[in-house]
Each structure stands twice: as C-alpha cells, then as structure tokens.
Amino acid sequence: MDKGKMDENEWGYHGEGNKSLVVAHAQRCVVLRFLKFPPNRKKTSEEIFQHLQNIVDFGKNVMREFLGENYVHCGEVVQLPLDFVKQLCLKVQSERPESRCDKDLDTLSGYALCLPNLARLQTYHFAEHRPILCVEIKPKCGFIPFSSDVTHEMKHKVCRYCMHQHLKVATGKWKQISKYCPLDLYSGNKQRMYFALKSLLREAQNNLKIFKNGELIYGCKDARSPAADWSELAHHLKPFFFPSNGLASGPHCTRAVIRELVRVITRVLLSGSDKGRAGALRLGPGSQGPCVCEASPFGKSLRHQGKSSLERSGLPKGCLLYKTLQVQMLDLLDIEGLYPLYRRVEQYLEEFPEQRKTLQIDGPYDEAFYQKLLDLSTEDDGTVAFALTKVQQYRVAMTAKDCSIMIALSPCLQDASSDQRPIVPSSRSRFTFSVSVLDLDLKPYESIPHQYKLDGKIVNYYSKTVHTKDATMMSTRFKESEDCTLVLHKV
C-alpha cells in the first residue's frame, strides 16, 4: 500500500463493533481497522500507536500460538495521511448504524491496522474474481463454568449467553430471545450444530453476518432491523449451492438452500489441522461438567423425549472451535473466583504503582507473557504472582469468548486440482474455503470490575424473572393436573 497516495474513494465502509471501525479497499483484499473512542476521551498518538502495536503483538505471540498461524492474521500498524483519514471518516459517517455512533473514529493519530480482508478468500493482496460467500459467527462462551467458586447454582445449569439474552431483550438491545445456544454449536454433535446455526440464521443479532463478494447481505444492525428474510437470503445463495440446476423458487427452495448452507458451515467448522498449542492446554470440566445448557430448546426437547443422557460427540481437536473453547476455558475460576484475585493485584498496585510495567498489565505481550499463561494451577499460595497469572488468563479467556470466526467459501473451478486450499463438498457443488479468527484484542485489565457487576446482574435478572416465571408455570401445571385428577375422581 502506497501510504503517500491514499484516496478515500477507493475505500468503503465495511463494518464496526464497539471498539473499532473497518473500511475495505474496493479492489484489493485489504481492510483498515481504526480504533473508536467516546467523544471526550482524548488519547495521544503515541498511546494509540502503542495500543495498536499491542494488538499485533498479542495476536502474534499469544493467539497465534494457541490457535495456529493459519487462523490468526495479525496485520500491521500503518500510519496514514491525516487528510485521508478525515475524508474517509466523513465519507463513511452516513453508513454507520446509529447505535454505534456513540463513539468516534480516531482521526487524530493517523494510525490504523492494515489486515487481509477476511470476507474475501484469504489471498491478501489480490482480489479473487470468483464469487465469494463469507459467514461470520461470533459464537460467544461455549461452556458452563466448572469452578467451585461459583455461588449461583443457576450458573451451573444455564450458560451465560442464554441468561444474558433475557437481560438484553429487557433492556431493548434485541427484540426477541434467540434459540441459539453456544453449547450446541460447540458440542461437535452435528444435529445440535445444525440447530445452533439455524437459530443464528433466524435471530442473527450480532452473532451472525453473511457477506457476498465482500458486501453484507444478511445480518442485524440493532433491535430496529427488519426481521430475517430467508427467501431473500436463499435467492442470494442459490447460485452457490445449486449452480446449474433449475430448483424452483418458493419455500421448498429456501429450505433446501438454507440446509445446504448449514451443512457446509458445520463441515467447515469441524475441519482443521492440528496446528497451534491450545490442544496442549487440556482444559475443561471433563466428563463431569454439563454439556447441555438447560435453557437451550434443543436440550429441552430432548429431555421431553426422555433422551436425557445426551451424547457428547465432542469436537475434533484440530478444529478452530475446539481450540477457541480451550482458550476460553483459561477462565478457570469464573469471575466470582477471579475477582478477589484482581483485588489482590489492585491492592499491590496501589502500594507499588511503578510495578505495573513489570507485571506486564499493559504489555508487552511477548513470549514471556505467553509462557506465564500456561500455568494452569488453581492452588492459591496467596501471592501476587498467582493472582496476576489468573487475571491475565482470565483476560485472554474473555478475548476468546468475544472473538468472531470468518468462513470464506468460493465455488471450485472446473479444474481445481492446482488449488492448494481445502475443499468442502455440498450436495450439488464444491467450495474452496478458508477459516480465520478476528477481533483478538486482549480485554483490558480495567474491565474486570465491570465483568463482575455484569455477571451478577445477568444471573439475578435471569433467576428473578425467568426462573420465577418457570416456577409459576410449573405450579400452574401442577394445579391443573390436580384439577384433572379431581375430575377423574368425580367421573
């Protein structure tokens, strides 16, 4: 990229989250990722450069080690002409969803991250001229906490995502409760994975986006977004999955196309080589912990059918979902066990503020930082060192709980023999594919008190409203069955 000749007209709005905004180059397979801040939060250019450099280092030295180099694209920090950034900011403003405009793009430092455009096949510098479909999934936390520090019994039964849904709907973030449960997606059981993916397709929220040739064709900006339209989605997808066949349109066609999409995505998610060291962590509740969330409709329906002992087919160890789950499980103590350790580190820092650097709270995220994460002991010897290790592991785990997976699919050419990329078949076509992870920014140390409060809020809200409602329904049902018995007696 020639940074001297940057033209804002060659770039277009691509997407944004809570902390960054992404623009994509019209021809080349690259994106620029800018940081965003609340309007009154002034950061110096040096601070912004350091923040971005930390993101790159964390990706390189930690996430690449855990997840494998094929999945993690760290990019590089670039310095751009300020004029270009200002013009670009004006250009994209009208395309930004209103709900994201509480933060402004950083136009003062001129720094951004340059990354491969993962919504196109991973070829970095050159745009592919083949049609490309890309599915982005933010799977969230895929396990139920196994820590003995958990005090709310509900947290051992219902996963955080499913509990959080109720609070999100109550506060107006989303319109309705999703049937998606991360435990279904992470189960490795195909039926459960199909169910999870279909649920995401019904209620995408911020957990699913679909891009065609780099353009967003399916996804949900906020609670005001229109309801999901599967027939429109199927119209976009049909040429990919039924290229040469005159499958009639209508509900039958829509179902067939969605089924193909779900199957292909499941296959891709279960594929993968065994690179990366997350497998070596061997974390988790083993066979003891619950593998089904009580709130998942899939789990519920199986229980109603009397199939209470759900099989755990498990994820293949090489696949990205498995590795991501392993990193998530670095949250060994749950926020309830972690928070007192955070307080210990805080007290130490209040006394010795100059130690913040030595403790690597704000980086550098280097090899030494990575090595310390591998200590999985949970025996608290009362030291700051123990507390710090658990705090850093928690931050890494939270990062893995909030990352997204990008799956790019491109129909195979007739002569695909020279193509080195893996191939996934569908019933009427074949695709080359690539899988990548994005949004691997280490969660800040300062967010731990917020996590602690939010956790309490989610569980209390769920327990008070949903559980009480369930209990009321149960007692009504119980009364009804009593009434029924009385009637039977009378007869």
Ligand X SMILES: O=P(O)(O)O[C@@H]1[C@@H](OP(=O)(O)O)[C@H](OP(=O)(O)O)[C@H](O)[C@H](OP(=O)(O)O)[C@H]1OP(=O)(O)O
Ligand Y SMILES: Nc1ncnc2c1ncn2[C@@H]1O[C@H](COP(=O)(O)OP(=O)(O)OP(=O)(O)O)[C@@H](O)[C@H]1O
* Residues 6 or more apart whose Cβ sits within 8 Å of residue 43: 37, 51, 106, 109
Q: Is 117 in the site for ligand Y (CB under 6 A)?
A: yes
The number of residues making up the chain comes to 491
Among 404, 410, 426, 432, binds ligand Y (CB under 6 A): 404
Cα 184 to Cα 285: distance, rounded to the nearest angstrom:
16
User: Which residue number has the CB closest to ligand Y?
Assistant: 17
Among 62, 115, 185, 278, binds ligand Y (CB under 6 A): 115
* Residues 6 or more apart whose Cβ sits within 8 Å of residue 62: 365, 369, 370, 373, 396, 442
Cα 52 to Cα 281: distance, rounded to the nearest angstrom:
28
Q: Cβ closer to ligand Y: 15 or 337? A: 15
Q: DSSP string of 87-132?
A: HHHHHHHTTS-GGGTTSEE--SS-EEEEEE-TTS-S-TTS--SS--
Binding mask 397-436 for ligand X (x = CB under 6 A): -x---x----------------------------------
Among 443, 452, 460, 463, binds ligand X (CB under 6 A): 443
- We find the least distance from the C-beta atom of residue 361 to ligand Y, in angstroms, to be 20
- 3-state class of 151 per DSSP? coil
Residue 447: name its binding partner from ligand X, ligand Y, none (Cβ under 5 to 8 Å by kind): ligand X
Residue 239 burial by Cβ neighbours in a 10 Å radius (0-12, 13-18, 19+): middle
Looking at residue 165, its amino acid is Q
Q: Cβ closer to ligand Y: 30 or 302? A: 30
Q: Is 328 in the site for ligand Y (CB under 6 A)?
A: no
Which position has the token pair 């800018």? 34
Q: Angle at Cα 482 formed by Cα 481 and Cα 488, nearest 5°?
A: 90
Residue 443: name its binding partner from ligand X, ligand Y, none (Cβ under 5 to 8 Å by kind): ligand X
Residue 118: name its binding partner from ligand X, ligand Y, none (Cβ under 5 to 8 Å by kind): ligand Y
Binding mask 252-291 for ligand X (x = CB under 6 A): ----------------------------------------
Residue 398: name its binding partner from ligand X, ligand Y, none (Cβ under 5 to 8 Å by kind): ligand X
* Residues 6 or more apart whose Cβ sits within 8 Å of residue 483: none
Q: Which residues bind ligand X (CB under 6 A)?
A: 17-19, 206, 398, 402, 443, 447
Summarize as ranges the residues that interact with ligand Y (CB under 6 A). Answer: 14-20, 22, 31, 33, 115-119, 136, 209, 402, 404, 438-439, 441
